[in-house]
């Protein structure tokens, strides 16, 4: 799978490979066009009450497959082709054990806008549990933080820097706002921990001898409570001093627990919020998010093999589990 390049937008060849492989393994396969030449793959064994799900796309640039005794390397090895491989092998062991009513759902575009998950959410199903596969170091996630991307745009009035009283510096204004935001106390959650803020971009001004007429900053918050609460706090700190725009937002997710697994909270976002029609979510996968998106992306062969059994046992237990109370 690593040898089939599938950078977001170019998932078709990998989807074709998965569809053929899964049909050969005895599953009923459906390709859903999430966008032009971007098929999601949905494979069923019976009428699924549990699906194992992940994404077929990767971030750029492509990194070639290689391996040593301990690891498999290459783009997608842990995010998320390793989890996909473990899910497929788990499905094969379940079929061999005559277990039915589960499915596999592999969507396009997780790394860029979740177009695949949004389309997949329209597929009719009576699924009760969704096991999402992302690299969680083989721990069952208790939840994942949400995200809020914010653009701050300050405007001032240009003037000769020798006569600052004739102008108004947008940069000074923005720096004041940013230092207040850095000092602010953001919401925390018992389960997900602290809200964090990153100032990831800063631009402004014209030249050293001109009072800056404009300045802007791009921030990313990792969210542990409702984004609406955070927005209120940001707006009350900023006031009318600059323009606030929200360019991306995603609510935090609280996932199901299951005895017998090590647990963790993850700070990255997943397709789970966009797959709300697939039942209550769990999040588990081999590999580390710290290797994902790097030139040295890798997955441990030991962890990969272990994940096969973990996914199979989750599916078995969730199929037998009585329907959960509505959230």
> Which residues are known to be catalytic?
110
Of 204, 214, 209, 216, residue with least CA distance to 164 = 209
Residue 173 beta carbon to Zn ion: minimum distance, rounded to whole angstroms:
38
Residue 134 beta carbon to Zn ion: minimum distance, rounded to whole angstroms:
5
Q: Which is nearer to Zn ion, 80 or 119 (CB)?
A: 80
In the complex, the residues that contact Zn ion under the rule CB under 5 A are 79-80, 134
Q: Residue 104 pairs with which residues in a beta bridge? A: 43, 52
Q: Residue 288 pairs with which residues in a beta bridge? A: 136
Residue 171 beta carbon to Zn ion: minimum distance, rounded to whole angstroms:
37
Tell me how far apart the alpha carbons of residues 47 and 101 are, in angstroms, rounded to a whole number. 5
Q: Which is nearer to Zn ion, 134 or 216 (CB)?
A: 134
How is residue 324 annotated by DSSP?
P
Q: Which residue is nearest to Zn ion (CB)?
A: 79
Q: How many CA atoms lie within 13 A of 44 on its CB side?
A: 13
Residue 35 beta carbon to Zn ion: minimum distance, rounded to whole angstroms:
18
Q: Which is nearer to Zn ion, 32 or 269 (CB)?
A: 269
User: What Rg do the C-alpha atoms of the chain give, in angstroms?
Assistant: 23
Q: Which is nearer to Zn ion, 45 or 81 (CB)?
A: 81
Q: Residue 168 pairs with which residues in a beta bridge? A: 157
What separation in angstroms does the CA of 151 have from each of 106, 156, 295?
Answer: 32, 17, 29
């Amino acid at each position: 799978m690593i040898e089939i390049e599938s950078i977001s937008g170019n998932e078709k060849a990998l989807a074709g490979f998965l569809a053929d492989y899964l049909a050969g393994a005895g599953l009923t396969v459906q390709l859903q066009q999430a966008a032009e030449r971007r098929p999601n793959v949905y494979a069923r064994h019976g009428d699924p009450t549990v699906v194992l799900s992940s994404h077929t796309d990767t971030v750029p640039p492509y990194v070639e497959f290689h391996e040593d005794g301990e690891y498999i390397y290459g783009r997608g090895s842990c995010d998320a082709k390793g989890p996909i491989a473990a899910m497929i092998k788990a499905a094969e062991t379940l079929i061999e054990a005559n277990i039915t009513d589960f499915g596999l759902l592999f969507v396009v575009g997780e790394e860029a806008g979740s177009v695949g998950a949004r389309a997949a959410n329209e597929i009719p199903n009576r699924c009760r549990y969704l096991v999402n596969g992302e690299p969680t170091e083989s721990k069952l996630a208790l939840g994942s933080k949400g995200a809020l991307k914010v653009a701050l745009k300050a405007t001032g009035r240009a003037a000769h820097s020798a006569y600052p009283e004739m102008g108004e510096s947008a940069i000074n204004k923005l720096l004041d706002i940013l230092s207040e935001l850095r000092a602010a106390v953001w919401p925390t959650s018992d389960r997900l921990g602290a809200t964090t803020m990153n100032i990831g971009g800063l631009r402004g001004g014209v030249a050293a001898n001109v009072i800056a007429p404009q300045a802007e900053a791009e921030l990313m918050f990792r969210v542990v409570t409702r984004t609406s609460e955070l927005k209120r706090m940001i707006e009350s700190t900023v006031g009318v001093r600059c323009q606030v725009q929200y360019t991306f937002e995603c609510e935090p997710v609280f996932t199901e627990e299951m005895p017998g697994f090590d647990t963790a909270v993850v700070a990255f976002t997943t397709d789970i919020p966009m797959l709300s029609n697939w039942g209550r979510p769990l999040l588990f996968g081999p590999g580390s998010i710290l290797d994902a998106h790097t030139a040295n992306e890798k997955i441990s062969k030991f962890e990969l093999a272990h994940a096969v059994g973990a996914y199979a046992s989750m599916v078995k237990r969730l199929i037998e589990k009585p329907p959960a109370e509505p959230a």
